[in-house]
Structure 1
Amino acid sequence: MRETEHPVARRKEHTVNDPTGSRAPGDDLTAIAISCTLKKSPDRSSSELIAEQVLRELSNHGVTGKTVRAVDLDIRPGITADEGDGDQWPQLREQISTADIVLIATPTWLGHMSSVAQRVLERLDAELSVTDDENRPAMVGKVGIAAVVGNEDGAHKICADTFQALNDIGFTVPAQGCTYWNGEAMSGVDYLDLDNTPEAVATTTAGMARNAAHLARTLKAAPYPAYPSS
């Protein structure tokens, strides 16, 4: 099987790369990749690696992106936009609010998404009560995608749970909006341990990025209609 090499360096920000020349002037899109690893910086993370790979593919479609490692912030449990007392969720919330595409990248723990990913989704739930001037919930019009890694089974379930949460909150999920890697059961090999990215993963990541950029551009040009006022 042909394999794609891991990038030598993983940047935190990805500028636009538009080799096809298809991006129209003023058509800039932005993305934020939320790495939900349990490891604090500067520890290496499989979730962050796949998040960076997604951003690199998005940059090929006119999308500028950056990665945030959620565990580096003091995100408090809660159901409001700001839980006070040093809560750093508002910092991440601001970056999410200005992005067109939001990626949730999570490891697999005990067959489920990480507790960090769960907390990010729980805090996003508060956005249902925030509306724009046409009464649409704040996240309506944004694209939500997922990336899952782990040396145990669970990727399909985690994608399903993530998509359900994102959809409830107001995000739109593109066709084939998840990329993932599951290693051999009980092998102890992580995604970041691989010498190369498997071709199937690289192809899936590229397809997800292409569809996500297309959907984000479509929603920007033709937003969802206004919601009823009551």
Structure 2
Amino acid sequence: MSEQLTNITQHQCQNAPAKYDDLKALFLNCTLNRTPVLSHTEGVIKIAQTIFEANGVQTKIIRPVDYDIPAGLGLDMSQTDEWDKDDWPQLQKEVDATDILVLCTSVWLGEKSSVCNRVLERIYGYTHLLNDKGQYRDYGKVGATLITGNEDGVKHCAMNILFSLSHIGYTIPPQVDAGWLGEVGPGPSYLDPGSGGPENDFTNRNTTFLAWNCMHMARLLKDNGGIPAHGNLPDAWDAGCKTDFKNPEHKR
């Protein structure tokens, strides 16, 4: 981070409105590059990670491309006839253990990466399971996204990712999408010398807002027991308890 951003971050951390040291944040870096190949997306991730960790939040960065993740919506695709190995269940445990999930991707052909799409599909495959209050399992968790690239598409990818996370139960705070785009074409990427990426004030500001808004929302949710379990229980609906929904005969 720039010296100015570091100073601002330190000041805000020293005067934060709450404690965040019981929170966990997971960055799923859906780069196409396997470790240890350089990931420019991880350069932006490090900004948010630094802010989280300065406030005591436990963080972890995982590149799903390092794992064998088959296509499909099953809990464990290795239990099907199509696939012999499936690493997704161990990644799902990481997702389940976190309070804040930041789904990160590079832009290719104006879209999120194929790895990012696969991750969302596999998370979606678990949504029929419920939490201990009987809600869909991702209620009470916070979602966000970070995006990099050398072509247009940050907002388009963010819309898709944040909608997908919201649809499966994540709470999306205000302004939790941030990214950086280099010059359109084969110009320098975020971490390349002379790119201007790490010094970009717009990216640094939005990534900082993202980190704080994720922490604020996760704090609110954790302190209040998540989303209230009223009017959003699938099993209750299936059993006929259709809270305040009036049928054509105006009966409850």
Q: Could you say whether these structures have the same fold, taking a TM-score greater than 0.5 normalized by the shorter chain as the test?
A: yes
Superposed displacement of residue 20, structure 1: 3.1
**CA distance 1:112–1:21, shift in 2 (3 Å):** closer
Unaligned 5+ segments in structure 1 are 6-16
User: In the alignment, what sits opposite 1:19?
Assistant: 14
Aligned runs of 1:1-80 on 2, under 5 Å? 4=2, 18-20=13-15, 22-24=17-19, 28-80=22-74
Cα deviations by residue, 1:113-169 (Å, 9 ceiling, x for unpaired): 000000000111022201022211111110000000001000000000001110111
The corresponding residue for 1:219 is: 221
CA distance 1:101–1:94, change in 2 (3 Å): same
C-alpha distance after superposition, 1:156-212 (max 9, x if no partner): 000000011101111111100111001111142111113633111111111110001
The amino acid across from 1:20 in the alignment is N
1:112 counterpart residue number: 111
Partner Cα distance (1:220, 1:176) in 2: 20
Tell me the TM-score normalised to structure 2 length: 0.81
> How many pairs are equivalent?
216
Q: After the TM superposition, which residues 1-230 of structure 1 pair with which residues of structure 2 at under 5 Å, given as runs?
A: 4=2, 18-20=13-15, 22-24=17-19, 28-84=22-78, 85-193=84-192, 194=195, 196-222=198-224, 223-226=226-229, 227-228=232-233, 229-230=236-237
CA RMSD of aligned residues (A): 1.9
Q: Percent identity?
A: 34
- Kindly provide the amino acid, as one letter, of the partner of residue 206 in structure 1: T
Q: Distance in 2 between matches of 1:27 and 1:42?
A: 29
Aligned equivalents of 2:42 and 2:143: distance in 1? 17
Decide whether the 8 Å contact of 1:4 with 1:198 is kept in 2: no
**TM-score normalised according to structure 1 size:** 0.88
Q: Amino acid of the residue matched to residue 217 of structure 1? A: R
Is the deviation greater in 186-195 or in 107-116?
A: 186-195
Distance of 1:21 and 1:146 partners within structure 2: 23
In structure 2, runs of 5+ residues without a counterpart are: 4-11, 79-83, 238-252
Higher relative contact order (CA 8 A, sep 6+): 1
Paired letter, 2:87 = Q
One-letter identity of the residue aligned with 1:203: R
Deviation for aligned residue 1:33: 0.2
Which entry has the higher C-alpha Rg, 1 or 2?
2
Give 1:21 deviation, angstroms: 6.2
